[in-house]
Structure 1
Amino acid sequence: MTQEQHTSSHADAQTDENHIISERREKLKALRDAQRAGQGPAFPNDVKPQHKAEALFAEYDGMSKEMLEPLKVRASVAGRMMLKRVMGKASFATLQDSSFGPSGGRIQIYLNNDSVGEQVHAAFKHWDLGDIVAAEGVLFKTKTGELTIHADKIRLVTKSLRPLPDKFHGIHDQEIKYR
């Protein structure tokens, strides 16, 4: 790669990141405007998660789907949204909290229009990776056997203004990489 190509790709990456940051600042402004309009606090400070992902995995991951379902175990977690998959009226998200262990402190959240309401689900679709989210619901296992919380309550706790680092490609700028 020539110096000119390197400089050009760095400028493009910087422009993309600046565009993402400006979009997220607009979303933050919309949250604050909604708060002023009386739609509740933009950033609630009353979030008290009752569980950590690793504790839930340690206690319930070994159970089969059939054993877990009749227990109707309620769980309350909060963490950074690392993955999000929206599929029409249903969505999945992976939250990562501060616990460590085999699950990496991650737990999957499932929500749909019926469980959280159309308005909350529509708002969820506009949340970004990196946002801090609190969720509460009943534990279950998916068809693939992954421990998941079927959320009946979910809310945005903190808006992430900067995008998460690129997971697969790392840092391209050699100067930043070796600082």
Structure 2
Amino acid sequence: MNSYAEEKKVDVPIQKAQVNTARRKAKWKKVLAYAAFVGPALLFFLTIQIAPFIMGIYYSFTSWNGVSAAIEWVGFDNYIKIFTNDQKFYQSFLFTTKFMLAAVFISNLIGFGLALILNAALKTRNILRTVFFIPNVIGGLLLGFIWQFIFIKGFASIGNITGLSFFQQPWLGTENTAFWGNCYCICMAN
């Protein structure tokens, strides 16, 4: 039996082990690439969404005013107070529930109705589509005019009053200043 086991060991090609190692390395490279792309987004999500949610659950079991350093653990007392003694909670809960149901139902009903009208085989379909799309264009158009006024007249006035040449340059006149002006507009809009 020893000779048979030794023969089997010798029969295994070395290349197969090298292929498995190469596959494992390629798999790890793929995993690391996924982690490099997903990791920052996951960290951001955990920091911005999940951590405050968990802290909110923790604080709901405490008596803390949000300012003082002293945090007193009260367990389920806050929940018992809300569900048994607090009439304002029930009023707030009912109002929020009614508002949510009405707003969701009405907005979906209107949106569905408009979608049916805009996709129906009507002679006025293109006119209706234009009428419904114009408000989307007007907002951006008005913002464009407002920012144009700010860059041309507003900054020039600030420059004349303060004497700073930074504000007196043609903000939309050169490629470099127009780029940074547009960046400023986008940052202010968001």
Length-normalised TM-score, structure 1 = 0.27
Rg comparison, structure with higher value? 2
More helix as a share of residues: 2
More strand as a share of residues: 1
